[in-house]
């Protein structure tokens, strides 16, 4: 990409790393699949998108302060079907990393806003995952309850490049629902995707044509949603007035009107 030379120079000056280490700070991770056998928790699977692994991945990392322009995050969507609600208490994602075991993770769930993440519904920050070489099993401290609709899960890995290397969220070769999106607000990777745009695409600096990260052709991330299905809460009953109620109300209004007129006449005589 057009900013990769500047990126490598910045890393070399700041960290004094070898050329091999410098190359790890990139917008894709080709040839590495990640561990598809993420540790299973005790919750049933509500939605799974762990198939069709591409062998690549996109950066989804909150770096140390010196590399804030490369901070990025990814998001992918899922659908809660009608007639039920999901109580999500665990998620799993497939990824790769330089050194496992030192990362924490931000996870949030958002409504759908025209094919990109909208307002946040549930937000969890600094969660410690079960880390299997960059594949995460993440228990949520409180359940995220979602009624029917389309939602987005956003992931960002908090990890310093100097000690842990780079984390990539692995992607897949086909899209389910909307294509996954990605953003890099500081545009350190030079994709032009400072706000949500499709992860795949030309990567020519125009977010309208896609970000071109994670290999440039892989449209979705690998992730799984776990928890329980539950019935929707009953609708709130709206009181309905029967005919006797209307009669009583009308009679009360007439009585009030008569009382008001009587007082007015009495005041006029005085």
Per-residue pLDDT of the chain (270 residues; tens, 9 = 90+): 333 333 333 333 233 333 333 344 667 766 555 555 555 567 899 999 999 999 999 999 999 999 999 999 999 999 999 999 999 999 999 999 999 999 999 999 999 999 999 999 999 999 999 999 999 999 999 999 999 999 999 999 999 999 999 999 999 999 999 999 999 999 999 999 999 999 999 999 999 999 999 999 999 999 999 999 999 988 876 666 677 766 776 777 777 666 666 666 666 665
Enclosing domain of residue 260: 240-270
Whether residue 224 lies inside any domain: the answer is yes
If asked whether residues 160 and 248 sit together in one domain, one would say no
If asked whether residues 254 and 144 sit together in one domain, one would say no
If asked whether residues 43 and 112 sit together in one domain, one would say yes
Total structural domains within the chain: 2
Q: Please tell me the pTM assigned to this model.
A: 0.79
If asked whether residues 135 and 191 sit together in one domain, one would say yes
DSSP the chain: -TTHHHHHHHHHHHH---HHHHTTSSS--TT----S-PPP-SSPEEEEE--SEEEEEEE-EE--GGGGGG--EEEEEEEEPTTEEEEEEEEEE-EE-SSTT--EEEEEEEEESSSSEEEEEEEEEEE--EEETTEEEEEEEEEEEE-SEEEEEEEEEE--HHHH---EEEEESS-SSSPPEEE-TT-TT-SS-SS-EESSB--SS-GGGB---TTSS--EE-EEEEEEEEEPPPPPPPP---HHHHHHHHHHHHHHHHHHHHHHHHHHH-
If asked whether residues 253 and 213 sit together in one domain, one would say no
Whether residue 105 lies inside any domain: the answer is yes
If asked whether residues 217 and 244 sit together in one domain, one would say no
If asked whether residues 269 and 222 sit together in one domain, one would say no
If asked whether residues 120 and 245 sit together in one domain, one would say no
């Amino acid at each position: 990409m057009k900013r990769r030379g500047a990126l490598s120079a910045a890393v070399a000056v700041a960290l004094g790393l070898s050329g091999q280490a410098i190359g790890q700070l990139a917008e894709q991770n080709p040839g590495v699949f990640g561990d598809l056998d993420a540790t299973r928790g005790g919750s049933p699977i509500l939605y799974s998108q762990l198939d069709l692994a591409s062998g690549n991945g996109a950066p989804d990392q909150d770096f140390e302060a010196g590399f804030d322009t490369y901070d990025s995050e990814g998001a992918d969507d899922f659908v809660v079907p009608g007639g039920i609600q999901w109580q999500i208490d665990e998620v799993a994602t497939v990824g790769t990393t330089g050194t496992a075991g030192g990362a924490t993770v931000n996870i949030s769930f958002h409504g759908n806003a025209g094919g990109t993440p909208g307002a946040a519904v549930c937000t969890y920050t600094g969660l410690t995952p079960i880390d299997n070489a960059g594949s995460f099993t993440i228990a949520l401290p409180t359940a995220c309850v979602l009624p029917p609709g389309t939602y987005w899960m956003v992931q960002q890995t908090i990890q310093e490049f100097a000690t842990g290397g780079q984390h990539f969220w692995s992607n897949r070769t086909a899209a389910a629902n909307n294509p996954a999106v990605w953003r890099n607000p500081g545009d350190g990777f030079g994709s032009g995707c400072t706000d949500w745009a499709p992860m795949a695409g030309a990567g020519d600096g125009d977010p309208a044509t896609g970000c071109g990260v994670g290999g440039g052709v892989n449209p979705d991330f690998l992730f799984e949603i776990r928890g329980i299905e539950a019935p929707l809460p009953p609708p709130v009953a709206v009181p309905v007035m029967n005919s006797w109620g209307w009669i009583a109300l009308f009679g009360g209004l007439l009585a009030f009107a008569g009382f008001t007129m009587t007082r007015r006449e009495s005041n006029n005589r005085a």
